[in-house]
Amino acid sequence: MQNDVMKFGRLMRSIQVIVAFMLALMATCAYSASKTVLVLGDSLSAEYGLARGSGWVALLEKRMNSEKLDARVINASISGETTSGGKARLPALLEQYRPDIVIIELGANDGLRGLPVASAKANLGAMIAAVRAARARPLLVGMRIPPNYGRDYTQRFSASYTELARELNVALVPFLLEGVADNPQLFQADRLHPLADAQPAILDNIWPSLKPLLLKPLLLKQMRH
């Protein structure tokens, strides 16, 4: 009887060692596996008026390569996109690319059209929920609009991103165009879209919030049926 108990004890210890090893191996694989970053944005991310490969999204892929971060970038941005358009397109993009991180850079066109702030905020919240349901990590990019839309509207618009990030505990880039928006020389003739010279600064605004997400282990994806 005593021998059986000892054998059982050794068996259990062996199983514990094997399980610990498998967990460590899975964690290592989760850290080192290639990640997919999906950018869901508007013209500010779609290289509007820029030479191909000069926008901040293209620069992002180069920076990740230079820092030895194994990740690919899918740019699903469309000029003129609104939060409602992004919300409608997102499910198919999540299914097609199965990203690990989704950068949501939307809302500027809602603001420029004077659409209700509450509606844009609700759409952004729905996208964040969809990203999380797909076992990916969202990164919300804050936007602002010119003051000619009225002080109340512009303040509520910019504050909606901070509020949403706090309410949903989501990573946030405070303002995409920080250090760019107040320099007219960095904009194209339409005064809405930054020049190629501004793209590195835009990436610098995004990088501090994005890099920690890139360094986190992958979330376990649900198996396809």
Catalytic residue IDs: 43, 190, 193
Question: Could you tell me the end-to-end alpha-carbon distance of the chain, in angstroms, rounded to an integer?
Answer: 47
